[in-house]
Amino acid sequence: MKFKQRIYLFLSLLVWAYSQILVAGEVEVLHWWTSGGEARSLDVLKQKMVEQGHSWKDFAVVGGSGDKAMAVLKSRALSGFPPTATQIKGKHIQEWGKLGLLTNLDKIAAEQNWIEILHDFVNDTMKYDGHYVAVPVNIHRANWLWVNPELFKQAGVSIPTTLKEFWLAADKLKKVGIIPIAHGDQAWQNSTVFEMLLLGMTSVEFYKKAFVELDKESLSSEKIIDVFVAFRKLKNYMDENIADRDWNTATSMVINGKAAMQIMGDWAKGEFIAEEKQLGKDFLCIPMPSTSKTFSYVIDSFIMFEISDTDNKKAQASLVKNILDKQFQKTFNMNKGSIPVRKDIDVDTFDLCAKASRSTLVADSYANVLPSFSYGMATSIYTQDAIFDIVTDFFRNEKITPKQAAEKLTRAIEDSF
Ligand code: BGC
């Protein structure tokens, strides 16, 4: 190579390196995705950002479903130093929107055509006061039952599709010394199990009336008392070490053959996948018995805080765009257990659970799609907290009767708005 050519190459490299430094910014991302499956999924996003020259400052707060992360976020944001981005969901987005600290994402939303590529209920959830302030990453289905088929075989029990079969199966499993249900006594997990029984015991219409419209008559009806009765009954099928057990520890009980079932959203699938377990052989995903047509949804999303640094702003915009990138959506959701949030990505290459999820979601023009109250999708965070308190108090204190619990629930929900 001639001297002149070398100089030219050297200068070009210099310009390229300088431009990389100029566009690269840092994103500090607060999240609670710390379990095996969750961390694996988030790594895909981290890698993408790093490949683009940005740096990723991880701000992980351990604790399933983000209760602890939300507390940490409050103290960080209120002290005036919010992170660049935070994992946050559902109606919580509204609370942060009110504070006026969020980056308006309308421009990127228009560029990527969110209005067309996202489902309507997702678009609605991402907006505050008519403007996009959050970017969705996936759609989880909460009403699943995770099953260890080997234990069912050992007990000679068939896989339940209705609640009646579910109780029979639980009885038989218990009789032969197998723990039927893996669970962790944490408010959000208790609420999840309560909600899934409720979905199986009532109807889509009832759920909407009681937990979306918060209709007093429905909330104080016999049906809710019956759900509390069933919820207490379910405790008989759990082991004695449920206190504060993390959800993923409960999942590993199913993975390792210590328990036969877990009632949990499809992030549990991410744990089976991370452990290289095979769907259909090592584990099964069954819709929560008596809810096969229902889709109880949980949308994971990120909000972006207003920041002033220009490079970091660019990195923030890249983060938003990357989240809805088609290839990212595929890889991330296959690992996470959820389905892509984009309507225009087909799930042909996904597993059977994801395929069932997608077809249930869109069936009958979304008629059976319900926002989960256990994940802040249905009500304000105050109402969600009230439900958590009542459900968990009842679960832990045998002295509270189902009737008292139902009355308390109606009152607490009323007081929360
Ligand atoms: C989130 C999931 C997460 C799960 C357990 C849920 O609230 O939507 O993404 O995996 O909590 O941490």
Q: pLDDT tens digits, residue range 313-357?
A: 999 999 999 999 999 999 999 999 999 999 999 999 999 999 999
Q: Which CATH class is domain 23-140+298-357?
A: alpha beta
pLDDT of residue 6: 73
**Does residue 64 contact residue 93 with C-beta atoms inside 8 Å?**
no
For the cut 80, the answer to whether the pLDDT of residue 391 exceeds it is yes
- 64 Cα–ligand 1 center, Å: 6
- Listed in sequence order, the residues at least 6 apart from 143 whose beta carbon sits closer than 8 Å to its beta carbon are 196, 199, 265, 287, 288, 291, 294, 295, 296
- The answer, yes or no, to whether any atom of ligand 1 lies below 6 A from the CB of 371, is no
State which of 70, 271, 300 you would mutate to test the pocket of ligand 1, scoring each by most atoms of that ligand within 8 A of its C-beta. Answer: 300
Atom 3, ligand 1: residue with shortest CA distance: 65
- Listed in sequence order, the residues at least 6 apart from 52 whose beta carbon sits closer than 8 Å to its beta carbon are 24, 318, 322
pLDDT of residue 1: 63
- 415 Cα–ligand 1 center, Å: 27
User: What stretch(es) of the chain map to CATH 3.40.190.10?
Assistant: 23-140+298-357, 144-296+364-415
pLDDT band at 11 (very low <50, low <70, confident <90, very high): low
* Portion of the chain with pLDDT greater than 90, in percent: 93
- 374 Cα–ligand 1 center, Å: 11
Q: Can you tell me the mean pLDDT for 164-173? A: 98
- The answer, yes or no, to whether any atom of ligand 1 lies below 6 A from the CB of 140, is yes
Torsion of CA 340, 343, 349, 354, to 10 degrees: 60
Q: What is the pTM of this model?
A: 0.94
pLDDT of residue 14: 58
CA distance linking residue 305 with residue 307, whole number of Å: 6
- The answer, yes or no, to whether any atom of ligand 1 lies below 6 A from the CB of 28, is no
Q: Where are the alpha helices (DSSP H) in 176-235?
A: 187-201, 204-207, 216-219, 222-235
What is the dotted CATH code of the domain comprising 144-296+364-415? 3.40.190.10
CA distance linking residue 375 with residue 298, whole number of Å: 6
- The answer, yes or no, to whether any atom of ligand 1 lies below 6 A from the CB of 38, is yes
For the cut 60, the answer to whether the pLDDT of residue 18 exceeds it is no
- 212-253 tens-digit pLDDT: 999 999 999 999 999 999 999 999 999 999 999 999 999 999
- The answer, yes or no, to whether any atom of ligand 1 lies below 6 A from the CB of 37, is no
φ, ψ dihedrals at 219, nearest 5°:
-65, -35
Which atom belonging to ligand 1 lies closest to the Cα atom of 299? Answer: 8
Q: Quick one: how far is CA 277 from the chain centroid?
A: 21
CA distance linking residue 229 with residue 151, whole number of Å: 27
- The answer, yes or no, to whether any atom of ligand 1 lies below 6 A from the CB of 302, is no
pLDDT of residue 417: 84
pLDDT of residue 269: 98
CA distance linking residue 149 with residue 325, whole number of Å: 36
Three-class SS state of 408: helix
- 96-140 tens-digit pLDDT: 999 999 999 999 999 999 999 999 999 999 999 999 999 999 999
pLDDT of residue 24: 87
- 260-283 tens-digit pLDDT: 999 999 999 999 999 999 999 999
Letter for the amino acid at 155? A
Low-confidence winner among 77-86, 133-142, 166-175 (lowest mean pLDDT):
77-86
For the cut 90, the answer to whether the pLDDT of residue 3 exceeds it is no
Mean pLDDT of all residues belonging to the chain: 95
Query: 17 or 170: whose pLDDT is higher?
Result: 170
Both tokens of 320, joined, read 């938003």
- 310 Cα–ligand 1 center, Å: 32
Question: What is the tally of helices (H) and strands (E) in the chain?
Answer: 20, 12
Atom 1, ligand 1: residue with shortest CA distance: 65
φ, ψ dihedrals at 94, nearest 5°:
-60, -40
